[in-house]
Amino acid sequence: MKFLNLKSIAILSFLILILLISLYLVFKNDEENIVYEQVETPQREKIISTNPNDVKRETFTPVVLGFEDCIDLVGEEKEECLNQVNYNVAYLNDDISYCLEINNYDKRSECIYGLVRELYSVNSCKRIPNHSRSMSCIQDSSIATRYTDFCEIFEGEPYEKQECLDRTNAFVIPERYEINECSSIETLEYKNLCFQNFYDACDDLKDRGDREDCNSARDYYLISIKEDCQKLLSSKYQRVCFEKFKPENINKKVTELDIDGDGLWDEKELWMNTDPFNPDTDGDGLSDYEEIIEKKGGNPLDADTDQDGLSDYDEIQLGTSVQRPDSDGDGILDSADSDPLSGDSDNDRLTDAEEILWGTDPNNRDTDGDGLSDYNEIKNGKNPLGEGWKSDTDGDGLIDVDEIFYLTNATKKDTDGDGVNDRDEIEAGTNPLGPGDFDFDGDRLSDKEEIELGTNIYKSDTNGDDVTDYESIKKGLDPISKDTDGDGLNNLYEIKNDLDPIKSDTDGDGLSDGDEINKYFTNPKDLDTDNDGFLDGEEVQAGFDPRTASGV
């Protein structure tokens, strides 16, 4: 990069960043990347930037149905219509209770997922019936908040936890401008995701391999002629580049170029850090495609993902967990355990004791023979006994998917053992999980208190200012308004910048904090910015410039 001037570097870096972000989005196959069609989503603003002084929004404008549109319909058509209306109303009113009225498992899950994923709370994410959506929500939350503690929910599954930490750090590290910290990221594509924010600083990397990969990843997508392939520092990138320019490959799509024939196209392998010339990079007997796309194994760069002494391939043959080093939880690593699945006769990840609670067959992974394991159905709030998804295992009046939603125990009518069944407690506003009144959103204000205050019982931060309702009240802030003192600045912005969020004019100079920052560019914490003996407000009123002692 030394032969380029600063302007060229900036332009080149910008173009590469845009290109790689696009490629990253194309390469991601995880089911967490959901795109809601306009007809599926009611009109709702989506915040793009959370800068308090520059909030950009994107508005969806779909067809919005009302309950009156369903009156004359019958059968499945009417049910679908009502489901859609409840979905719309839930979004329009930011009221998750309407999601529970949806009479379709998948749509109900998507409704809850869509509303709770932006609450950035582990407990909120755990309320999503669909388990994969729930885990995705937790990872999204850890990224959005830059709070890696969310990853603790994966305790006991080292690879899942590491992936969550790495994915979060891929966004955290660039904010610290420390490119060498990217090298500490272990998981697949997240190291590259981190590096892509530093493509103008690849040469600052201490590790030679990382330095070559970083430079090569930056330059690879800019090459248009075969001769330039040899300029790439990484031999892996160089070989893939030459392969792309072979006569027989010139007219092929990028996704058709697969040197090792493992089902992953070459450029995706470069991004994922797997070997495009070896169908099984870690040599564990599972192809890279099986580990990444089919998710049969774990880490395609590590033959023993959970570091328990058994290869991923051997674990699949034995029925033990690829991601948990102690599959049966008895304190002995799977490789040293004479019976690593003791207590789980059918190897479905439910112990025999748990199967007795649920009434499933301990010797049959799929008791009702519907193609889904008992563990999978229970984890997703469905009935493993084949009676449909609206089952109520413990007979307390709450169906199992709603027990997931309220975090209660689907096998016990009275989760907290206080003598009142779970549904009765929820309807009475008392807590089915323990003593006291119910605090659904976990913000330390009971639902009864929130109703009195007018705050949202389903959101810990009603006004979205990144201060919980409880903390807002404790600090004297308005939990419903983002700008308590009406000075034009977000509550959290004022707190972070040592301004008074309750007082519109922190320094008492006669100018509001918002006007000082956005209009007059003076110091809202100094009543005389230019130190000329006159208050900033006095100077503005007299027509002088409060930033210069001369007043001009």
Residue-level pLDDT at 278: 96
* The token pair that represents 402 in the structure block: 């709603």
The pTM (predicted TM-score) of the whole model is 0.63
Q: Report which listed range, 78-87, 348-357, 495-504, is most confident.
A: 78-87
**CA gap 8, 199 in Å, rounded:** 13
Task: Provide the pLDDT confidence category of residue 20 given band limits of 50, 70 and 90.
Answer: low
CB distance 207 to 181 below 8 Å:
no
Higher per-residue pLDDT: 291 or 464: 291
* The token pair that represents 532 in the structure block: 């000329």
Considering only 16-25, 75-84, 269-278, 379-388, which range has the smallest mean pLDDT? 16-25
pLDDT at 79 over 60: yes
pLDDT in tens, 507-540: 999 999 999 999 999 999 999 898 999 999 998 9
* Total Cβ atoms within 10 A of residue 126: 17
Cα end-to-end span (Å), the chain: 45
CB distance 439 to 445 below 8 Å:
yes
DSSP string over 452-480: HHT--TT-SSTT-SSS-HHHHHHTT--SS
**CA gap 405, 425 in Å, rounded:** 14
Considering only 10-19, 240-249, 401-410, 414-423, which range has the smallest mean pLDDT? 10-19
DSSP conformation class of 430:
B
Chain-wide mean pLDDT for the chain?
Answer: 83
Task: Provide the pLDDT confidence category of residue 50 given band limits of 50, 70 and 90.
Answer: very low
Residue-level pLDDT at 148: 83
DSSP conformation class of 196:
G
pLDDT in tens, 178-199: 899 998 888 778 888 888 888 8
pLDDT in tens, 264-300: 999 999 988 899 999 999 999 999 999 988 888 788 9
DSSP conformation class of 2:
T
Residue-level pLDDT at 138: 87
pLDDT at 45 over 70: no
